[in-house]
Structure 1
Amino acid sequence: MTRRPPEWMAPLLTRLATAQVTDFTQLATPTTGGRESAVLVLLGEEPGAGPDVLILQRAATLRNHAGQPAFPGGAADPGDADAAATALREANEEVGLDPTSVTVLAELPRLWIPVSDFVVTPVLAWWHTPHPVHPREPAEVAHVARLTVAELVDPANRLRVRHSSGWIGPAFTARGMVVWGFTAGVLATLLEMAGWARPWPRDRVIDLPPTGASPAPSAGTDPVDEVAGPLT
């Protein structure tokens, strides 16, 4: 049965129909090469809390991206039919998400992350039947949270972070986490596209905490962020 997304998603879905890579980053996606992967941008809604998005926090012991908040997702497997299949499979493996509780709505433009040579397709979906989720592999995922749009657009929770490489990009603070990098760049763009974003102090810049000392990503909407440092 096809599930109709809620009306509050309509402006975002309309805008995404014409979305291009340049809406998310100034880096062109290579026509060949790159490791295909996908992430799940899962929007839900709790009564009285409004729209939210599912975010996980990587385990602090990982070699790469230790402690970093992210969308569920990962590299494509040969058996995956498409990007949506990859995103849903990874979300199930990481946090126990039931794929039947989700309606896939759109695939966003494929975005290139130079440092890892991943080509990532964000998959937007509606969580029509939310259920409890949790880290299935604590060695990989430390925490799972549903961050409300209200939290994300609160000017008090928005800032920019400076990576040790000199890269500067958008970020959010919520539930004791600093959401930055590729995830924050995609979120910032989607909030603008949906018309949910509020003015926030772009001069608020902090150095990235040591626990997030991963290579700098390259997704963001602010041209200043894109050229502020090497996008390695």
Structure 2
Amino acid sequence: MTQVPDWLERLAAQAQRIGVPPVLRPPAGRGRAAAVLMLFGEGPNGPDVLLIQRSTRGRRHAGQPAFPGGGVDPEDAGPIEAALREAEEETGADPEGVHVLCTMPELYLTYSDNRVTPVIAWWREPSAVHAASPDEVDSVERVPIAELVDPGNRIMLRHSRGTAGPAFRVRGMLVWGFTAMVLDTVLREAGLELPWDPTRTEELPPEVVNLASRR
């Protein structure tokens, strides 16, 4: 059993006050309720966060790295229960070992029309994880925070539509889009971000766009 680190306590204390970028603000009366689990733990290489690589066979967000999560079902008590359930279904993470700290403000994903509540948690008693739902998940990674904040792993990605956003190259994954924006915000608000060069820009690979656009 490990204690919640100070930086995560500070993040949790201000989570509801974190500003939501205009592009992620939910529109009134639209969107399906969903939740993701931002599960931080103490791994063999220091503090880390749990990410999944979505299946390339999926219908939405195919092949994208993401936080475990999904829709809030009618039988769920709310976004926290949904996030824990989805994480267990997708990665095998035992919810009994997870200490939920807080939720962040709701964020809107235009492409999938989801209103997503990020749930911030500490992995009090880590359990073994794997791609527990092969139809939805190709792989599971505990990504060290040190690798995420390494300036050499950070870039800006430009989409064919002309928009650009933060991205990370870690563990053989290109983390971009919604997940990268949330990680970028959380690392900065937690005081973990290291100076990096936001002018280092790459084009979003066409094969990534094609997979992510699949319906």
Q: 1:5, CA displacement in angstroms?
A: 2.1
Identity of aligned residues (%): 50
User: Aligned letter for 1:104?
Assistant: V
Question: Is the aligned partner of 1:105 residue 2:104?
Answer: no
- Structure 1 unmatched ranges of 5 or more: 216-232
User: Aligned letter for 2:166?
Assistant: P
- Please, what TM-score do these two structures have when normalized by structure 2? 0.92
Runs ≥4 residues deviating over 6 A: none
Question: Is the aligned partner of 1:61 residue 2:60?
Answer: no
Q: 1:64, CA displacement in angstroms?
A: 2.3
3-state DSSP of counterpart to 2:131: coil
User: Aligned letter for 1:112?
Assistant: Y
Write the distance in 2 (CA, Å) between the matches of 1:208 and 1:109: 27
Contact 1:24 1:186 in 2 (8 A): no
Q: 1:54, CA displacement in angstroms?
A: 0.1
Question: Is the aligned partner of 1:192 residue 2:188?
Answer: yes
The aligned residue for residue 35 of structure 2 is: 38
Question: Is the aligned partner of 1:212 residue 2:208?
Answer: yes
- Structure 2 unmatched ranges of 5 or more: none
Contact 2:16 2:105 in 1 (8 A): no
Structure 2 residue aligned with 1:179, among 163, 171, 175? 175
The aligned residue for residue 220 of structure 1 is: none
Question: Is the aligned partner of 1:18 residue 2:14?
Answer: no
The aligned residue for residue 7 of structure 2 is: 8
Aligned residue pair count:
209
Query: CA RMSD, aligned part only?
Result: 1.5
Contact 2:43 2:142 in 1 (8 A): no
Structure 2 residue aligned with 1:73, among 69, 75, 81? 69
3-state DSSP of counterpart to 2:100: strand
Q: 1:17, CA displacement in angstroms?
A: 4.6
Matches within 5 A, 1:125-136: 125-136=121-132
